[in-house]
Amino acid sequence: MVTKTDKLLKEFINLHPKYIDLSLNRLDYLLKKLGNPHKNLPPTIHIAGTNGKGSTLSFIKNILQNNNYSVHTYTSPHLEKFNERININNKQVNSKTLLRSLEYVKEVNKKKPITFFEITTAAAFVLFSKYKADFLILETGLGGRLDATNIIHKKLISIITAIGIDHEEFLGKTLKKITKEKLGIIQNSKNIIIAKQNKEVDNFIYNKLKNLNNVYYFNRDYRFKIINKKQFIFKFQKNKKTIRRPSLQGLHQIENASTALTTAMLLKENNYQIKLSLLGKSIYNTKWPGRIEKVKFKNKYIIFDGSHNLSGADKLNKYLSETKIRPNVIFGMLNNKNIFEFLSILKKNIDTLYPIKIPDEQNAYTQKEIHIISKKLKLDTVIIKNLTTINKLLMKNPNKYILVTGSLYLIGKIRKNYL
């Protein structure tokens, strides 16, 4: 059923400027007309990076909530409905409140050209300023320096998660250029946390920020040191602490959890009440749908993973190698992504590929286009146009594992069928 919110969001898409000038001018103008809600926000934790932003945000949110703090959060994209992007005081925004905010910004904007992310971010800021909370955690949409979320002027902590190649058409074609854009969020930040990076990115960031005394680097001066990843044992204040591994799958989630724990330590040092005894529970119980999410369905295990870039493919491949799972794969991807390299990384750890065009997504690879690439890679590929028929075949297949990957948009379209 199409709701009023759905119709309004579609109208926002049609406001998209004919020319994207990659600046914050449009949003700045709108926010001024809205009364500058972005200048009246709770203490803010801002997160940029290529991968791990949402997981890191979820870990931090869970730690804060378990310590009785109220938290607003802003994430993107959503899986099934837009409400997922905005949490107010620990709860997903209800449809009535969301619609009211969207209608308000629409009225104030007066049909002026603006991107979908900019105008919806303005609506989120209106809500975050209206309802009080102890913290706001913001996830960037794309990049950092010119991302709509970066229009806020004061941040308690800025976090840079793992950086890789993605959105090259906007951020640049090299890791250094992309990293420079992501680092754009650190201005006006009281503290800066740099998560685990590859050597090139780590050295680049260190050389850029080495003269700042408010930066904390993974494996250099984190508030604790990981001793054993398998059991997630870390050293803190001269004592060994053991935390159960995150329920989120994949060894990379230990790195994301480590970033969240460092955030907790910094907050504690800044006189926020953080109980160390609650950290283990907070990390273990964190959920983040669509990111190596394993679900039991009838006699099968379905793994949903919205990886869509090469760094994500690498992490997914390591998980498959680690668990010795070789699944059948339902695969779809937006056509601005590097599908050949993505499938090349997964090739040795997948069984049969079932390509699908992402439903209702105009800018997605067709089955034929995916098949042309899979043939070059000599992947066993089966073309079946109907998703229902694919499901029936996979249910009869002796392989117990089905992986759905290539896009969060794909996950959002079909995940509900298996829950």
Whether 280 and 299 map to the same domain: the answer is no
* Cα distance between residue 337 and residue 409, in whole Å: 13
* Cα distance between residue 416 and residue 334, in whole Å: 20
Check pLDDT > 80 for residue 224. Answer: no
Whether 133 and 272 map to the same domain: the answer is yes
Whether 258 and 361 map to the same domain: the answer is no
Q: What is the pLDDT of residues 323-373, one digit of tens each?
A: 999 999 999 999 999 999 999 999 999 999 999 999 988 899 999 999 999
Whether 276 and 367 map to the same domain: the answer is no
Q: Kindly report the CA angle at 258 between 253 and 261, in degrees rounded to 5?
A: 130
Residue 305 banded pLDDT, cuts 50, 70, 90: very high
DSSP state of 246: P
Closest to 201 in 3D by CA, of 226, 174, 225: 174
Whether 279 and 310 map to the same domain: the answer is no
Q: Which domain holds residue 360?
A: 293-418
Check pLDDT > 70 for residue 199. Answer: yes
Q: What is the CATH number of the domain that holds 232?
A: 3.40.1190.10
Whether 321 and 268 map to the same domain: the answer is no
- Residue 349 has a pLDDT of 97
Whether 369 and 234 map to the same domain: the answer is no
Instruction: Choose the final residue of a domain: 235, 260, 284.
Output: 284
Instruction: Choose the final residue of a domain: 284, 303, 328.
Output: 284
How many Cβ atoms are within 10 Å of 199's Cβ, its own excluded? 7
| Residue indicated by tokens 């607003």 | 72
- Three-state SS for 251? coil
Whether 252 and 304 map to the same domain: the answer is no
The overall average pLDDT reported for the chain is: 92
Q: What is the CATH number of the domain that holds 310?
A: 3.90.190.20
Q: For residue 329, which amino acid is it?
A: V
Q: What is the pLDDT of residues 121-143, one digit of tens each?
A: 999 999 999 999 999 999 999 88
Beta strands in 150-277 (DSSP E): 155-160, 189-194, 215-217, 225-228, 233-236, 239-242
Whether 243 and 300 map to the same domain: the answer is no
Q: What share of the chain is helix, strand, coil (3-state, %, to 5)?
A: 45, 15, 40
Instruction: Choose the final residue of a domain: 284, 310, 333.
Output: 284
User: What's this model's pTM, rounded to 2 decimal places?
Assistant: 0.94
